[in-house]
């Protein structure tokens, strides 16, 4: 089983704001620490137009990480592909893969915030086909010798050719999300999965099973892909200490950034859960906290074992869910690497 560190977002709640002059420097130092400690990958995440200065140019930031690290995989989790011109994204991705010596990983996501789609002048209704046509374009560009023509409802290119190509024949690609449709789409294209942090081990088991069923239906070979899941995470010498550090920070993160900024919380009728329903907002934020893996090394090891038994081969551990001091994050990363990770080595 493999473990990545992420996803790094520049998220900083109003409870604990940090200046971006510090945060971007810490992004690099966090990646270097993850590499030194033996994590397989380090991940960034994209969003736009939120007050905390959330990372909005992942591939640019990954260029900096490519220069600052040597061996660790560097990736997007997620790159909101429907918001991008796929040809330009393909060129930037190939450049990062070259700069990093073939270490790029690409998790694609649909996105969901109206503010982002409206600002870029893209219909939210078009997000799924734009994502699918983008994946098809990347495969065509990176898998075809000579120029290609592309003409569909969303993109038209004539005589385009990938130069330079990625160092990898095809950088590792995944779809990120929460729902069965994401799983089925990933199976259709034969790419990996990175499921969201609030999915339980039991829900994950069902989605992993559906992934393999869909791959069989589409006739795609997924034997070598990674099936991953992200988890908000904290480990400390005792469970009491881990909860003391993580739970208040997670509660503010879910109540502010996730609920108010990203507008992710919806009731069963699809209505936004906002400040006008404080009790419901508090309940949803608490559910996000409860889904995190928080505890001493034995406790978190047991939780990760459940994910492995559910069929996951990869766990992305989100240590930085707000702007915690770097020394605090690095201590938790080191404890996990020394006291938990060896039990899951191949």
Average pLDDT, the chain: 93
Which residue in 332, 336, 271 sits closest to 301, CA to CA? 336
Mention every residue, 6+ apart, whose C-beta is less than 8 A from residue 96. 59, 62, 63, 66, 74, 104
Confirm or reject CATH 3.30.420.10 for domain 2-243+293-344, answering yes or no: no
Query: What pLDDT score does 321 carry?
Result: 83
Tokens read off for 298: 């034995």
191-248, pLDDT tens digit by residue? 999 999 989 999 999 999 999 999 999 999 999 899 999 999 999 999 999 999 999 9
Q: How far apart are CA 314 and CA 250, in angstroms?
A: 22
> Three-class SS of residue 49?
coil
Query: What pLDDT score does 218 carry?
Result: 97
Query: What pLDDT score does 23 carry?
Result: 84
Tokens read off for 43: 């991940």
Mutual angle of helices 127-143 and 180-189, in 10-degree steps: 20
65-115, pLDDT tens digit by residue? 999 999 999 999 999 999 999 999 999 999 999 999 999 999 999 998 889
153-199, pLDDT tens digit by residue? 999 999 999 888 999 989 999 999 988 999 999 999 999 999 999 89
Q: What is the pTM of this model?
A: 0.93
Which is it for the CA torsion 132, 133, 139, 142, positive or negative?
Answer: negative
Residues in the chain: 346
Which is it for the CA torsion 345, 175, 309, 7, positive or negative?
Answer: positive
Q: How far apart are CA 43 and CA 73, in angstroms?
A: 8
Asked whether residue 20 carries a pLDDT value surpassing 80, the answer given is: no
């Amino acid at each position: 089983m493999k473990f990545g560190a992420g996803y790094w977002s520049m998220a900083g709640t109003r409870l604990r704001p940090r200046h971006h002059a510090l945060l971007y420097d810490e992004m690099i130092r966090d990646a270097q620490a993850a590499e030194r400690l033996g994590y397989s990958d380090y991940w960034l995440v994209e969003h736009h137009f939120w007050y905390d200065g959330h990372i909005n140019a992942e591939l640019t930031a990954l260029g900096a990480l490519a220069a600052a690290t040597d061996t660790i995989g560097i990736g997007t989790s997620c790159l909101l592909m429907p918001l991008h011109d796929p040809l330009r994204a393909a060129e930037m991705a190939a450049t990062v893969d070259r700069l990093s010596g073939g270490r790029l990983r690409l998790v694609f996501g649909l996105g969901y915030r109206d503010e982002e789609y409206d600002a870029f002048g893209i219909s939210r209704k078009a997000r799924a086909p734009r994502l699918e046509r983008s994946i098809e374009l990347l495969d065509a560009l990176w898998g075809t010798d000579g120029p290609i023509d592309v003409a569909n409802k969303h993109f038209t290119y004539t005589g385009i050719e990938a130069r330079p190509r990625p160092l990898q024949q095809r950088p590792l690609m995944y779809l990120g999300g929460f729902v069965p449709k994401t799983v089925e789409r990933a199976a259709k294209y034969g790419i990996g999965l990175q499921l969201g942090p609030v999915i339980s081990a039991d829900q994950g088991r069902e989605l992993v099973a559906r992934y393999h069923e869909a791959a069989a239906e589409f006739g795609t070979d997924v034997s070598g892909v990674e099936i991953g899941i992200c988890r908000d995470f904290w480990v400390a010498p005792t469970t009491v200490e881990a909860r003391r550090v993580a739970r208040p920070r997670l509660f503010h993160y879910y109540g502010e950034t996730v609920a108010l900024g990203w507008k992710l919380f919806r009731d069963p009728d699809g209505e936004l859960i906002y400040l006008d329903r404080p009790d419901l907002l508090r309940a949803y934020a608490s559910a996000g906290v409860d889904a995190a893996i928080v505890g001493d090394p034995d406790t978190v090891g047991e939780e990760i074992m459940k994910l492995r038994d559910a069929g996951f081969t990869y766990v992305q551990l989100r240590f930085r869910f707000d702007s915690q001091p770097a020394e605090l994050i690095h201590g938790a990363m080191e404890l996990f690497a020394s006291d938990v990770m060896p039990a899951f080595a191949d």
